[in-house]
Each structure stands twice: as structure tokens, then as C-alpha cells.
Structure 1
């Protein structure tokens, strides 16, 4: 059984830490839109235990996605009613990108900052440019990423790790009510696999500790076994899992 209070608590923080541009609510669902940048900001997510769907509501939400030129996406986190997944599957929605929300307790030994990781309370255009370009692909979109992170209202830290004055790894920490969320952890493509991301993660956890956080959380795709192994070594465990049901047949970066 999923712990609904844990899921709602973390989902609420996820929404606050990664803002969308448009929010709509429908009978226990929150539909979010952000120009198609990242699924978590462009999907309909249940926020009430046993949130239900019927054909009329699916059609209505699908129309809202299409109006925004975003691929209709339902993000299923375990709060939905038991028949929702099968209903979407029957209508042709494809299951993609199962993802784990991981959480780890923060101990006093986790609270020492890495002096080589620079932390800034506000986003800079340089941070956005470097982080988005290291991501590449659909996430190489400076303008939309800047709009999203500029809307964060919680206490934040934008991390940059440099080696020999070259920025090589980035991350975002968002602290809210005893938790620190870790987002956009990315390392320069030519320097991956040597522990730079781990240093950014550790420093953001330490920053969160200073902000009163007792728990760190993050999201990682189920297929990313390397990252899941790394986070497991850092004490992270799966709090819950979510997946996506997407409408096929439309080319979109949503």
C-alpha cells in the first residue's frame, strides 16, 4: 500500500519546486502546463486518494493539452483510482518513463558544504545556459528553463562545481518544510562517471541541512540504473513510483 500522506506531501513540494505556467484543477487532478518543458510540469496528476477519471473528463483535459500544443500526459503516482491506468490504456495511452521518487534521511554528518561547489540563492542566466546545454536534447532550452526556475517561491540554491575555473557540474536545491528537493543534477558530458554529480548532490544536501531539512528527495527514471545505484549508496530509497500515460501519435517534446 502506498502511503497517501507521504505521496501528497512530496507531490506538493514537487509542484512548488518545479513551477508550471498554468494550473487547472479537475476533481482531484491538477493539470499543469509549461510549454512542454519536462513531463512533471506538463501533465495531469492525481492529488486526492482514489482520484477518478471518466471519458468526459479525459476528453476535457486532453483538449486543454491540445490547445496548449502539449502532448496529453497523465502522470500516475498511486493516488489515482484502481481502474484509471486500465482506462487510459484502453483508450490507447502508452505507458512511458516509469520514475522513482527517492528519499533519504539527513544526518549531522551530511551537513558539511563542499567549498568548491558555489551556491547562489538566485538563478543566473549563466547557470541556466550551462546546465541546459549540458543536458542537451529537449532540455537544451535556456529560455523555458529560466522561466520555470525563476518562478520558484521556496528557498533555493543553484549549485555550480568548477574544476580549474571551468564549470563542470550543476544542480538545484529547493528547501520546503523539512525537506530539500534535488533537481537538474547534471555533469558536463565529457566528465561523467568520476563523482562530480555526487559532490553536487552532497553539497545541496548539506545546504538543505542548514535550512532545517531532515530529509532529501529527488526523482530518477527507473531505467537509469547507474543513477539509482549512486543514490542508493547515498542512502536514498524509493518513497513511491510514478509512471506516465501519453497519447500517441503527436510529435512533441512534452
Structure 2
């Protein structure tokens, strides 16, 4: 049985920690738009328990995203009416990229790694390097910069150095007892060396020192490497969420 109170608590913090450029609130759903940069900021997500969908609401959501040239996406967290998956599937929206939200306690053993520098605001160099390391659809430094500069909660922008060169980047945002970890990334040629773990532990330690008791993060369910890392640090699944999107054209 899903813990609806926990889902709501974490989803509220996510909305604040990863701001969109525009939002709409429609019949218990929040529609967020950020010019397509990341699914979490470009989706319709249920706000209230039992939020449902019907043909008129689906039409409105699809139109709102298409008007902004953003791929429509329903992000289903378990808060919504249980029939939503069936209704959206009947409308032709397909399951895509199932993901997990994980939580972990923050213990006294955590410490910031000496190779990690943490700043309270993003510098242009951090934004550019992090976007380049993400690559693909998240390589747009302008959009990443607009998102992270809009964060209003206490935040940590971490850079890990290896042999005098910047090698990894990560973001944490602290709000009301939780610290969210976002977009941990290591330079492509340096992956597999344990650098990601050092970033994660450092950001968890920062969150504890900032007053958080728990950490949370989101990851793709299929990412077994990340899942093993997070499990070793005490993370467990708080809830699973799915995306419903229109199928790609042939």
C-alpha cells in the first residue's frame, strides 16, 4: 500500500527543488513546463489523492504541452486514481522509463570528501561542465542554468576534483527535514572509479549539517549500477512512478 503522505511530502519538495519555467494547476494535477529539459519539470503530475483523468482533461493536457512544443507526459506517482493508467493506455499513451524515488536516513558517519567543493549558488562553470557531462537532451547549459538559478531553498552545488581537474558534479536541496539529491554526474571518461559515491556521500553529509534527517533521490528503475550504489548507502524505495507518453512516430 502506497504511503500517500510520504509521496505528497516528497513530491512537494521536488517541485520546489527543481523549478519549472511555467506551471498550470488543473483538476488536481500540476502541469510543469521547462522547454523539455528533464521529465520531472515537463510533466503532468497528480497533486491530490484520487486525481482522475477524463477525455476533456487529457485533451487539455496534450494541447498545453503541444502548444509549448514539449512532448506530453503524465507522471503517475500512485497518488492518482487507480484507473488513470487504464484510461491513459486506452488513449494511446504508452508506459515509458519507470522510475523510483528512494529515501535514506542521514547518519553521523557521513562526511564531506576533501576532494569535493560545495558552494551555495551555481557558478557558470559548474552549469556548463555539469550540462556537458550529462550530454544528450540535458546538455543545454542555458536551460539547466535557468532551473538551478530559480531554486529558493538552501542548496549545495558540488564539484569533485581528481588530480587537479574537475571530474564530477552534483546538486542537493534542503527543505523541511529532507535533502534531495539531483543530477549526480561524473565525467564520461572517469566513470567506474567510485567518484559518484564520493559526491553522493558529500551531499548527504551537507544535507545532514543543514538540518535534514532524511535524503531522497530519483532514479530510473533500469539503472542497476546506480541502484546498487544507493542500496549500499542505505537507500530504500519510497515509491515507484511511471510516465505515460505518446508513442514515438515510426
TM-score by length of 1: 0.97
Q: In the TM superposition, what whole-angstrom CA distance separates every residue of 1:139-196 from its partner, at most 9, and x where no partner exists?
A: 1100000000010010000000001220001100100011110001000111111110
Does residue 144 in structure 1 map to residue 143 in structure 2?
yes
Hey, what's the Cα distance between the residues in 2 that align with 1:113 and 1:222? 27
Q: Which runs of 4+ in 1 moved over 4 A?
A: none
SS at match of 1:157: strand
Hey, what's the Cα distance between the residues in 1 that align with 2:248 and 2:122? 36
Which residue of structure 2 aligns with residue 84 of structure 1?
84
Structure 1 unpaired stretches of 5+: none
Which residue of structure 2 aligns with residue 123 of structure 1?
122
SS at match of 2:8: helix
TM-score by length of 2: 0.98
Structure 2 unpaired stretches of 5+: none
**Is contact 1:120–1:157 with CA below 8 Å preserved after alignment?**
yes
Which residue of structure 2 aligns with residue 73 of structure 1?
73
Does residue 34 in structure 1 map to residue 34 in structure 2?
yes
1:135-214 pair list within 5 angstroms: 135-214=134-213
Hey, what's the Cα distance between the residues in 2 that align with 1:193 and 1:227? 11
**Is contact 1:71–1:250 with CA below 8 Å preserved after alignment?**
no
Would the alpha carbon gap of residues 31 and 123 (structure 1) be closer, same or farther in structure 2, given more than 3 Å must change?
A: same
Q: In the TM superposition, what whole-angstrom CA distance separates every residue of 1:213-253 from its partner, at most 9, and x where no partner exists?
A: 100010010010010011000000000010100012469xx
Hey, what's the Cα distance between the residues in 1 that align with 2:84 and 2:172? 33
C-alpha root-mean-square deviation of aligned residues, in Å? 1.0
Which residue of structure 2 aligns with residue 102 of structure 1?
102
Hey, what's the Cα distance between the residues in 1 that align with 2:216 and 2:226? 14
